[in-house]
Structure 1
Amino acid sequence: MRADDVQQVAENTLLPVVVAAASLVTMVMTLALCSLCQWCHRRDSYTELERDDETSEKGGAFPHSNVISRKTIKFERPPGKALVRGNVQPNADGDEDSAENGTSLKAYEDEGSDSNEDAVSEPSANLGRIQFSMSYDFDTMTLVLHIKRAVELPAKDFSGTSDPFVKICLLPDKKNKMETKVKRRNLNPHWNETFQFEGFPYDKLQHRVLYLQVFDYDRFSRNDPIGEVHLPLCEVDLTESPTFWKDLRPCPNSNDNLGELLVSLCYQPTAQRITIVVMKARHLKAMDITGTSDPYVKIWLVYREKKIEKKKTSCKKRCLNPVFNESFIFDIPMDKMKETSFIISVMDKDTLKKNDVIGKVCLAPRSGPLETKHWKEMISKPRQPVAMWHGLKK
């Protein structure tokens, strides 16, 4: 065979092999690039999820150990320090009562004898308003503060009310604080109490800020902050003895950010039953060291402060924004409606210890403003599901 023929045979044999090898290399490089892109996408997704699940710890504005005892304070003060006097309501700490009574639905006593979904309502941001007045005695260099009243305070207790009192100080001094008396079970309290800050030259007051913080008094747990007011005294003409109405603002350091729960209620008067749909929750507080929670929802039917029947949803693992969409039916005689309520608790499931309570909502004829509104709207729109967001409470 001639040399030219041998060369042509070799070229015809090697060309397909080279082409196949080039195609294989191209395919491997393509697959590697795709894998790298997917890995990057997953990494970005995980990073975004971690950002969504981040939560921050919050605490009360002032530690309770620094509260002045209830009496008139007289003491020697170093230059620049002022004498304060006023009334103080002592607080108490303890453990929350957690007993549960699983009585049958038959425990109801004998006494004398169609579907369109509403728009979802967002929780109200109204924390109420407080009224107070101030005056200044130039002869004694005394600032006189008169705490008058508050209106439309939110309910912090499951009874549908609060036990409010006011803490007072002149910032930046946080050590010398005064308090009003506690007004039991009152969302529109009248205090009418006077407090005096003695030994303050008028020009020194221009550098102070009046700080009022309204709390709900709790006997067996930490007091719940309701709202606060900051008023720089440089903006106040004390020669006129002004009176103020101020909206309460959220306390940035409060521990109230427990999350929110979306619940639907539907009342069927003919069948004498209420259907509760636990729809979803959002921004739940992380209860585990992993920065997340394993939430589920527990519902207690309560009649005359006695727990009658309990139901609960499934548990959603490692989730701060769970979606449940689970419905529960409760048979309730019509004549028992006025004394019936539902305590809805969002729980964090734990394997090795007792499940933690993230927060609760009490839906009843007499509860918090938003809870009562939800109940009344359910009654006024029979056979129609009414859904609302509710902020979780301790």
Structure 2
Amino acid sequence: MFNEIIFQTHGRLLLAGICAIVIFLIALSIVCCLTPGCLGHKCLKIQKKRREKAETTTTMTMTSTTRSTDQQCGNIKLSDVSYRSWRIGSLYDNGSICENSESSPRNSYGSNAHHVFNDPGVSSTLNLVDSGKQKNDKKIKDFPTEIKLSLQYLPTCEETRGNRGKLVIGVESLSGLPPKQYNCTLEPYVTVEIVKYSWTHRKKDVLHFFRTRSIRHTANPIFRETFVIADVDSNEAKEWTLNIVAFDHDRYANHTELCSTRISFKDVKNIFTSPEIHLFNYKMKISSQEFGGILLGISYLPTAQRLTINVMKLRAVKYPQNIKPINFHPYVRILMLNSKTGRKLRKRKTHVLSSSNQLLEFNETLTFDLSFHQLDTVQFIVILCNKIVIDDVPISMTENPSDSEESTNSFNKSSDICLGKVALGKGVRGSTERLHWFSVLQNPRKLVTVWHTLK
């Protein structure tokens, strides 16, 4: 009887010990799995990576299957284009471009473009996203543009005139200007605007405006020009602001704003206490002026040696304040230039839209005869212009384009206003423009449509 009692007591203690050991081991394994650095935690992490790798492989297999099916059906996405395979691919930036979700159906374009879409060789349309939706590329080179100014205040000798005198503003030089959109030399000039802002800085009163001469073929022009303002009150002048803008004189299109800076006379008020010449160096901010968007579709037919540019439509066009909406008659002019010499080779233009056309759709096809070897040596300038319409003279809706040199030179004599431009071709500065041209070369016989920003 006593032995049975002992065995029962020992059995209970043994069972309790076994349960305690099991609970301890379970708690230890849980703590080991949750604590970083432990063996259990490392094993779980390795297993998780293996599962993710297996899922990724399965997804890639499904994607490649879908991609091959789409290619068989004639649907091409930008991710299918290998830019590095092109022989001049090293000259282009492979930025982040995705498929444009804003593309229109094929049959929605006009009759002029309809025959291009129905061409059995042109079986699909490749779309690129507009530049506004792209992420900023941090690898873009910053051009540290600097301007050298001289300021001098000469007080008058007459005591009756009080704190009045002459203000002399000198534009000495510029350095490090950003390059042109296409392969032509710069022809920079500087505008100096003296304004007085309201206390909210929302309104400004332009007091004086000056402009330097243009200097050709240089990105580091030396002006050494001075502008004199007489009868200046030194106390009032301390409230003034200098708005300085550097432009590029473009002989083919609108002048391009390169960079700008703003200088308050409050920051240089020491010039009013000394009649000496004070020199200043200011860094200028690169301009990002935009005038709207234009949708262009480009395709190249190697057998016919023909480049086709479809001018489709406009959006968010910004025109000068002196142009009223009723006087807005836009049309598009395309110039083909030699990328080495900058000489005009050919030109084409669309019909003129009436001011009553609210959709701003051209849907017009312009063609250029171009051999395959010329693709590396030409650039295209797409220019949005506003037709100056004389009263009681109807707009000519069917103006015949001309390839003669006289007709090309007559463009400089035209009184039409250029609102913005886009440069296309090898070696242009814009990343979206380069990628558009690159996609056309990589996808012959296929139409590539892109929204471009007018600058």
TM-score by length of 2: 0.43
The structure having more radius of gyration, on CA atoms, is 2
TM-score by length of 1: 0.48
